[in-house]
């Protein structure tokens, strides 16, 4: 998938654990893991908003577009 989720990088920068973030944004750790690993097919605006609020960042900090090699 050409959309990369940089959530683990942000978490490391902010020194926040996945468990804590999951608790703050009110999603399960399993779902956060899916999001972090890039296995997620889509992300809801409400989830993105909650992550941005919790980590004080912009959506562009979390999501990145990388063109796939043909």
Could you tell me the smallest distance in angstroms from the CB atom of residue 27 to another protein?
7
Could you tell me the smallest distance in angstroms from the CB atom of residue 52 to another protein?
14
Could you tell me the smallest distance in angstroms from the CB atom of residue 68 to another protein?
19
Nearest 5°: CA angle at 50, between 46 and 53? Answer: 135
Query: What is the DSSP-derived secondary structure letter of residue 28?
Result: -
Burial readout 14-24 (b: 16 or more C-beta within 10 A, e: otherwise): eeeeeeebbee
CA distance 53 to 25: 9
Indicate the residue among 31 and 60 with the shorter CB distance to another protein. 31
Indicate the residue among 14 and 36 with the shorter CB distance to another protein. 36
Footprint of another protein on this chain (CB under 8 A)?
27, 31-32, 34-35, 39-44, 47
């Amino acid at each position: 998938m050409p959309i990369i989720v940089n959530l683990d990088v942000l978490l490391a920068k902010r020194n926040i654990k996945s468990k804590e973030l999951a608790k703050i944004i009110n999603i399960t750790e399993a779902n956060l893991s899916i999001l972090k690993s890039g296995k997620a097919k889509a992300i809801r605006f409400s989830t993105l908003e909650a992550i941005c609020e919790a980590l004080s960042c912009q959506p562009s900090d979390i999501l990145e577009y990388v063109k796939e090699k043909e």
